[in-house]
Amino acid sequence: MKPSNAKAQTQSPPQNKKGEEKDLPLKNVVNFFFEMGMLKKTPRSGFQFLGSGKESVADHSFRVALIGYTMAQLCPHVDPYKVLSLCLFHDVPETRTGDMNYVNKRYVDVRETEAIEDLARSLPFGHEYKELMREYRENKTEEARLVHDADQLDLILELKEQNDLGNHYARKWIHFALKRLQTDTGRKMAAQITRTDSTAWWFEGNDHWWSPNQPEDDSERS
């Protein structure tokens, strides 16, 4: 082999197409793990406009994954593990772009495609990562639509909690988030969220937790 070819091979990263040998160094994978830690430090920027509440992109992505997986289990002919993968990766580019709220997006052009391409070149599953992001962004499959709804349902849950705590602006935000839902499952879930007190999972029907002499209610004894 000619030296020039050898030099070219050392400088060009391996192709990440499915089925080819994935021989990128483990350091790239470790760098990816460190980069994903940025999601824990990246705030969801919309809360500064809402005036209350806060969460990181990692906080958001975790519950989106749980919501998406649960919704997929409720829908026939949907791959729950594809949904889970899409949920986990849907906001990964924000390690590099930050989180852009709806006001930011009116004035800032985010080079998300470039961020996806740059990260993909360093990953042994770069092709699969790009395919997940393509499917999510094109939003044509049932799995992708469920993930977009899971994304909105996490927001609606957070807004319902803030509304229950007294932020009346949150209800206005919920009104618009409901309009962005795309699936019947998502709309049914959202309707239940708006009817449910955010503390009900631990407070409702559990008076005996707080008062030792208080008997359990009939629903708990049955």
For residue 159, the model assigns a pLDDT of 98
Amino acid identity of residue 212, one-letter, is P
User: Residue 49: its pLDDT value, please?
Assistant: 95
Q: Per residue in 209-220, pLDDT tens?
A: 888 776 665 554
Report pTM.
Answer: 0.84
Give residue 10's pLDDT.
43
Per the CB < 8 A criterion, the answer to whether 178 and 95 are in contact is no
pLDDT of residue 4: 45
Report helix, strand or coil for 186.
helix
Give CATH for domain 24-197: 1.10.3210.10
Residues 36-67 pLDDT 10s: 999 999 999 999 999 999 999 999 999 999 99
| Residue 13 pLDDT | 47
Q: What is the mean pLDDT of each run of 10 residues along the chain (222 residues)?
A: 44 49 80 98 96 97 98 96 98 97 93 97 96 98 98 98 97 97 98 97 87 62 44
The domain limits of the chain are 24-197
Query: CA separation (Å) from 182 to 47, 74, 179, 191?
Result: 24, 15, 8, 13
Measured distance CA(148)–CA(119) in Å, rounded: 22
Residue type at position 158: E
